[in-house]
Amino acid sequence: MTKRYTSTAKALHWLMAVLLFGLLALGFYMHDLPLSPQKLQLYSWHKWAGVTAFLLVLARLGWRVTHIPPALPASMPRLMQLAAHAGHFALYALMIAIPLSGWLMSSAKGFQTVWFGVLPIPDLLDKNKELGDLLAVVHKGLNLLFVAVLAGHIGAALKHHFIDKDDILTRILPKH
């Protein structure tokens, strides 16, 4: 069984950590702003970053299916191991579902996503106000759920490091 994450896996983990915190902060900040050129700019940046995050998640899933990640410590109770796997599954599921819901919401609201203002991402839905409003609620709800699961993820990592004193946190760090 492998003991360490490859540098690719570590790089993807931390790149996405930075990107997703940025996306979350930007998303919660921008949606209440009064309409201004800056708001439109922030929305565009949020969408570009969201498409980027989605592609990075696909890359991570690609890594995941071609590598076996390091095992959890044998000292962990079975229930805890199960919870850890469920938590990681939820993170991946949300990292896929959230950008998809944002993309669909943009289409339904009539604002196509154009990656970096250059590459148009096709609209899967026609413009539809009710559906757009519904997808906005879905996008927000999924993000609140994501924040909750992330809090669990970070809390668990810190618990492993400071209380259990195992290598769960350190093995994902760049120099380990």
Task: List interacting residues with another protein (CB under 8 A).
Answer: 35-38, 40-41, 44, 109-114, 116-118, 127
CB of 150 to another protein, least distance (A): 29
Nearer to another protein by Cβ, of 121 and 157: the residue is: 121
Q: What does 28-69 look like in DSSP terms, one character per residue?
A: HHHTTSPS-HHHHHHHHHHHHHHHHHHHHHHHHHHHHHHSPP
CB of 92 to another protein, least distance (A): 29
Nearer to another protein by Cβ, of 36 and 75: the residue is: 36
Nearer to another protein by Cβ, of 39 and 153: the residue is: 39
CB of 41 to another protein, least distance (A): 6
**Residues whose CB is less than 8 angstroms from the CB of residue 65 and which lie 6 or more positions away in sequence, other chains included:** none
Nearer to another protein by Cβ, of 47 and 160: the residue is: 47
CB of 99 to another protein, least distance (A): 17
Are 135 and 108 in contact by the 8 Å Cβ rule? The answer is yes
**Residues whose CB is less than 8 angstroms from the CB of residue 45 and which lie 6 or more positions away in sequence, other chains included:** 26
Sign for the pseudo-dihedral over CA of 6, 7, 12, 18: positive
